[in-house]
Structures are given as structure tokens and as C-alpha cells.
Amino acid sequence: MRRLTLLTNPDKCNLRCPLCFLNQRGRPFGMGEMPLEVAKAAIEKYAESGLREVIPSTMGEPLLYSKFSELLDFCGAVDIPLNLTTNGSFPGIWGTAAGMERLLLACSDIKVSCMGFDGSAFDEMMPGLSFGCWRANVEKLLALAGDLQKSDNSARVATVSLQVTVQKKILRSVPEILRWAETVGIARIKWNLPVFISAGERLRGEYGISGPVANEIRRELESLQAQYPRVRCEGSLFFGADTAGAMPVRKIASGEGPCDFFKDEIWILPDGTEERCPNPERRFGDRTKKGAACENCMLLGR
């Protein structure tokens, strides 16, 4: 088992991003926070099975999990790093130098979500946080990472990555994002196409991009890589896009068995229930919809 994703606080976030599954579904997940003992039990269960990292939340802002500090301590005690994806607000103590340094020394990678890269697009896509504050937080995190590496070459310091949602409102900023990332020391950018569950189909026309546009952006990034070689570009954009702009689909023949997701990752819900299916429609949407079927899964090609 490569990693566990703990749905630590799915309903708790300080932003109101339109493409978040919470917004798309239009109702809370409704299971509350994950008790720390549930998180510990899940980690202990798989710690001896080759578990390499723990991912907190991914729906909701993990740094708002009331037991996040204790989770950091526990993962450190069992020597399993966190792989953190955050919206970049760094609330509370996590926005201080001490808090950021603690994250950098406890995590394998810190991915900061990016859904807009200018004032107007950012305000629309990540409401509740200003672009200036987001950018300053990322640059502060990177500066601290550099300082930690200089002070102790043997220290295990997290890489800092961006997770960019490639939607209509960010397309014109693609070259600028890559240029800035190279300048400030971003290690990697995951360029991911937006995922729409059935309840969020109303958003596809406003934010989704077509297959030809996805191909054009991919070619643009490939041509820019020579100028910015220190930033690794990956993500679902590079898997190819279908005509609807969704993530690529890999069909599973009937009776073929479970998908590769089962081998690498398990999601743990707040009540301790294990969720092995990666399909967002099944997990966050409507299991009766066509998109919930294995052969229509949006994530199997990742």
C-alpha cells in the first residue's frame, strides 16, 4: 500500500472554490471531523504493508483539521511523512515561520492549489483569499525551505509543488505561472483538468475546456519547458483530454477485476470506513448516475 488518504475534515474550509466537489454537490459531506484515533488506527493498520505516505483530506482544507498538529506528531513517530495539499491560506500557526518550517520537515511534498493567477480570476476561483496573500505565502514557504536546506544539508525538507486546475479562467496565465514557478523555486507543477460530477455539470460550460484546447495548452507547456527546465510538469493534462475536457478514460472490461487504484491507495472516511473506489461520482456525487460505473470512471487513466 503506497498511501492512505484520510478524509480528515471534508466539510471544513475557509474558501468557497466553485470547482470544489463540496460546491458541485451543493450539500455537506455530513460526517464531521475524523477522530484522531480513527486516523491513527488506519495508519497503524497499513504501516507494515509498505505505507509510504499519508494524505490528509483533499476535500476541505487539511490545515483546519483540529487534530492536524497531533497527526503530524504521530506520523513523525512512525516515520511516515505527510503528503499535503493545501489551498495556500496557511491559517493560524501554519502561516508563521515556525509553523511552515514544521510542515517542511514533516512532509514529503507540499502541493499548493492554484486555480487563478491574476486578481480577477483568483478572486472568482478561490474566493476568501487574495492573490497577493496566496503568492506571498508560497514565496515565504519556499524561502524557508531554502534556508532549512542551507542550514542542514542532511535535513529531509519537503518539496513544494503547485496543483493547477487547467480551466478557462486560468489559460492566459499558463506561461506566467511557469515563469514564476521557475523563479521562486517550485519543484513541480501538476496541471490537472477539472473534474465535474453530475451535480456540477452546470459548471462545465463556464469552466471546462475542450479536448482541442487542452491539447493546445499541453503543446504550449511542452514548448516552454526548454525555457524553464527546473520545473517538472505533469498531471492529467499530459494524459490527453477527451472532447469534453474531462480526464481520460481507461475502459475496464467486465470481470477484469479491480482497478490499479486498489493496489496503491485507500481512502479512509471520517468514521473509519474504507473507500477503495477512486471515482468522484461514486464518492461525492450520485452512485446511480452513469458516471459512477467503473467503465466511465474519470480517474482510471491517471
Task: List pLDDT tens digits, range 43-95.
Answer: 999 998 889 999 998 889 999 999 999 999 999 999 999 999 999 999 999 99
Whether the pLDDT of residue 194 is over 50: the answer is: yes
pLDDT on residue 295: 79
**Band of the pLDDT at 188, cuts 50, 70, 90?**
very high
Average pLDDT, the chain: 89
Percent of the chain exceeding pLDDT 90 equals: 73
The torsion angles phi and psi of 77, rounded to 5 degrees, stand at -65, -30
Q: What angle do helix axes 174-184 and 211-224 make, rounded to 10 degrees?
A: 30
Q: So what's the pLDDT on residue 260?
A: 65
The position carrying cell 456525487 is 285
Q: Tell me the mean pLDDT in the region 166-185.
A: 96
Choose among 72, 132, 128: nearest CA to 104. Answer: 72
Residue 287 pLDDT exceeds 60:
yes
Q: What is the mean predicted confidence (pLDDT) over 198-221?
A: 95
Give the pLDDT band of residue 300 (cuts 50, 70, 90): low
Q: Is 257 a residue whose pLDDT tops 80?
A: no
> Mean pLDDT over residues 188-203, rounded?
94
Q: Per mean pLDDT, which range of 5-9, 105-109, 149-153, 211-215 is the poorest? A: 149-153
Sheet with 265-268, strands from edge to edge, namely 232-234, 188-192, 159-165, 107-114, 82-86, 53-56, 3-6, 265-268, 274-275
What pLDDT does residue 59 have? 86
CA distance 103 to 33: 21
pLDDT band at 153 (very low <50, low <70, confident <90, very high): confident
* Lowest mean per-residue pLDDT among 5-14, 54-63, 261-270: 261-270
- Enter the CATH code of domain 3-296: 3.20.20.70
Q: What is the pTM of this model?
A: 0.90
Q: What are the residue ranges spanned by the domains of the chain?
A: 3-296
Predicted confidence at residue 152, as pLDDT, reads 83
pLDDT of residue 252: 42
What lies within 8 Å, CB to CB, of 64 at 6+ separation is 9, 12, 13, 14, 91
What's the average model confidence in pLDDT over 258-273?
81
- pLDDT (average), residues 251-258: 43
More confident residue, 274 or 239: 274
Residue predicted with more confidence, 301 or 39: 39
Mean pLDDT of 28-53: 93
| Residues 99, 105, 109, 113, Cα dihedral to 10° | 10
d(CA 122, CA 130): 7
The answer, yes or no, to whether residue 241 has pLDDT greater than 50, is no
* Rounded average pLDDT over 200-226: 95
The better pLDDT of the pair 54, 262 is held by 54
Does residue 262 carry a pLDDT above 70? no
Residues 23-34, mean pLDDT to the nearest whole number: 91
